[in-house]
């Protein structure tokens, strides 16, 4: 297949493209605007592949998207392009509405008109896979509850509201126009090449720099943690074997309190990088600092991933303990990647522009 991946220079998008190129014979057209969170250096392991192409484009630009569809004739779309940082959505929600809502609408319309002109066989095989988040469901009060594919939407932040909006648009384009769509809603991802503003890399890099490790409130918020490479395996299974019109929740079966995540990172760094710890402190845990909670902070997310396991045979291979250990080790051995992100030099890189 030729798979058009939007947001392919982001964290999950780049992991997905690396997985596709390394493990299949499919071709990938990476469409990314290259905002601050887009990093082509995350694609350097596959940038020279003859099955990988990069197109710098804004998904809100319909005319450019039309040209890309016409030129590359994709068999499927995997839509990951999104603004995704909750704190940024609170400070400036406009960008989230523009990219996540208007961008998704624009992509849907271009894909719909392209799909409608395909011959019957290609039209039947075409898929529009929309990748979303468990945050659209709000949070859970009962410790026994889990998010299922039928859980009502109750987003809490501008980010999750914009993603909920995009989910509704995708379903509407399926019901109204017949576009063959599939949706996935995933739990918190972590792993290599994660942009440093997110919790796990932020804590690793702050700790190595001897800076405070800020934890919102008392750190009791619970998230289900999903190793990004497990997620990408699931995404490809859904694209190739999932049923059009269906939603699949993807979770890691690893519920952890935020404070527990930070403490685990500290303990791993005490083991793997003791020489970099300030001699004045006994453990990286001494850097943990509790800060004022953010507005509307959801207390608990937890995914019921039984449907994708039952219907497609997918389940995560990494426990939180194995995945977080691999993640910490990756940041210790790939310093040039995150140092270039921290300095801003990564934005000067244009690896993979072999269109």
* Closest C-alpha among 162, 191, 167, 185 to residue 12: 191
**Residue spans of alpha helices (H) in 126-251:** 158-177, 199-208, 228-241
Q: Which residues contact 217 (CB under 8 A, 6 or more apart)?
A: 290, 292, 293, 297
Q: Is the CATH number 3.40.50.720 carried by domain 2-191+226-253+297-318+343-348?
A: yes
Concerning whether 134 is annotated as a catalytic residue, the answer is yes
Cα separation, 105 vs 179, in Å, equals 13
Considering the entire predicted model, what is its pTM? 0.95
For the record, the structure tokens of 224 come out as 């289900």
Tens-binned pLDDT, residue by residue, of the chain (355 aa): 999 999 999 999 999 999 999 999 999 999 999 999 999 999 999 999 999 999 999 999 999 999 999 999 999 999 999 998 888 999 999 999 999 999 999 999 999 999 999 999 999 999 999 999 999 999 998 888 999 999 999 999 999 999 999 999 999 999 999 999 999 999 999 999 999 989 999 999 999 999 999 999 999 999 999 999 999 999 999 999 999 999 999 999 999 999 999 999 999 999 999 999 999 999 999 999 999 998 989 899 999 999 999 999 999 999 999 999 999 999 999 999 999 999 999 988 654 444 3
Is the CB of residue 222 less than 8 Å from the CB of residue 302? yes
Give the residues across from 77 on adjacent strands. Answer: 4, 128
Measured CA to CA, the distance from residue 158 to residue 72 in angstroms comes to: 34
Decide the pairing of beta strands 222-227 and 255-257.
antiparallel
Rg of the chain taking only CA atoms, in angstroms: 20
Q: How far apart are CA 82 and CA 7, in angstroms?
A: 7
| Marked catalytic residue, from 58, 134, 139, 224 | 134
The catalytic residue among 27, 52, 137, 159 is 159
Q: Is 218 a catalytic residue?
A: no
Active-site residue flag, 36: no
CA 273 – CA 294 distance, rounded (Å) = 31
Q: Which of 135, 139, 224, 263 is catalytic?
A: 135
């Amino acid at each position: 297949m030729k798979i058009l991946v939007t947001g392919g220079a982001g964290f999950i998008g780049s992991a997905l493209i690396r997985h596709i190129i390394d493990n299949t014979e499919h071709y990938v057209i990476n469409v990314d605007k290259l905002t601050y969170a887009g990093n082509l250096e995350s694609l350097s392991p596959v940038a020279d592949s003859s099955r990988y192409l990069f197109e710098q484009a804004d998904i809100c630009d319909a005319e450019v998207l039309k040209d890309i569809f016409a030129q590359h004739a994709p068999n499927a779309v995997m839509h990951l392009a999104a603004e995704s940082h909750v704190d940024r959505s609170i400070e400036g929600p406009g960008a989230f509405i523009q990219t996540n809502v208007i961008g998704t609408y624009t992509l849907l319309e271009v894909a719909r008109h392209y799909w409608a002109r395909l011959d019957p066989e290609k039209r039947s095989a075409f898929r529009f896979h929309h990748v979303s988040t468990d945050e659209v469901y709000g949070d859970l009060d009962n410790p026994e509850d889990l998010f299922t594919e039928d859980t009502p939407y109750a987003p809490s932040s501008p980010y999750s509201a914009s993603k909920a909006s995009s989910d509704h648009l995708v379903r509407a384009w399926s019901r109204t126009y017949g576009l063959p769509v599939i949706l996935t809603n995933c739990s918190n991802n972590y792993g290599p090449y994660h942009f440093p503003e997110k919790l796990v890399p932020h804590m690793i890099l702050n700790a190595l720099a001897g800076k405070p490790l800020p934890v919102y409130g008392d750190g009791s918020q619970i998230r289900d943690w999903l190793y990004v490479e497990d997620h990408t395996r699931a995404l490809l299974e859904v694209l190739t074997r999932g049923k059009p019109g269906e939603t699949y929740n993807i979770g890691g079966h690893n519920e952890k309190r935020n404070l527990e995540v930070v403490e685990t990172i500290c303990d791993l760094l005490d083991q793997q990088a003791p020489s970099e710890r300030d001699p004045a402190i006994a453990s990286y845990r001494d850097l943990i600092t509790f800060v004022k909670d953010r507005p509307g902070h959801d207390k608990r997310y937890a995914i019921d991933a039984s449907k994708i396991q039952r219907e497609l045979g997918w389940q995560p291979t990494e426990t939180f303990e194995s995945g977080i250990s691999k993640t910490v080790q990756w940041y210790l051995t790939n310093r040039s990647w995150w140092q270039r992100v921290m300095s801003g030099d990564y934005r000067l890189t244009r690896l993979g522009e072999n269109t």
